[in-house]
Structure 1
Amino acid sequence: MILGDGSTRHGARSPGSDDERSGPFDEHVHSLLAAADVDGLLSLDVELAAELGAQGRAAWQVLAGVPGPWRCSSAEFFAPFGVGYHVAVWERP
């Protein structure tokens, strides 16, 4: 199991200031997790993730380094109070 937060900059209620890049960033992460795309996760932009407060980037990249193959059986995204949370279940096929 890997846990990691997405951007902390979703809207006025967020702990960081609102950043219009947070939505596309977390949508991209969600699509990578949903596709079990290890190459995509490994190529996430370190600087952008840091600017958006996405502390989960390192954990997702560790997950991507675990030998597969993998498939995603479930993936969801939530952003209560302006913080992005990704929930994904990866299984071996």
Structure 2
Amino acid sequence: MSDDRVTVRQLAHETRKVFDRLQHDRRLVVVRDGRPIGILTAPDPDEQQLDDWAAAGEASPDWRADQEGLRSFLAAAPVRTAAAGDPVGSAAILADRAEDER
């Protein structure tokens, strides 16, 4: 049995240990008779931080909807590629700055 699996029996009788392990492993597969029947995942630390910021008024309370809108936008956006020989990444930014300074 691999380290990322827990049995239903372990989950029922050693719940605290299983959840302590989940905090470390981030994802555990629950198995019964050796077959996966479920997956436990720990909360995403970035999402928890955004929830805290939203509660404090430092982020949009609708940050999840905002994020989904951005994902939809990016999925539909046309792919842009640089022509061969054109600067890319940081080099492109530096080239744009140099051009603006002229």
TM superposition score category, shorter chain reference = under 0.3
Give the TM-score normalised by the residue count of structure 1. 0.24
Taking CA–CA contacts closer than 8 Å with sequence separation of 6 or more, which of the two structures ends up with the larger relative contact order? 1
Q: As a proportion of its length, which structure holds more helix? A: 2
Larger-gyration structure (1/2): 2
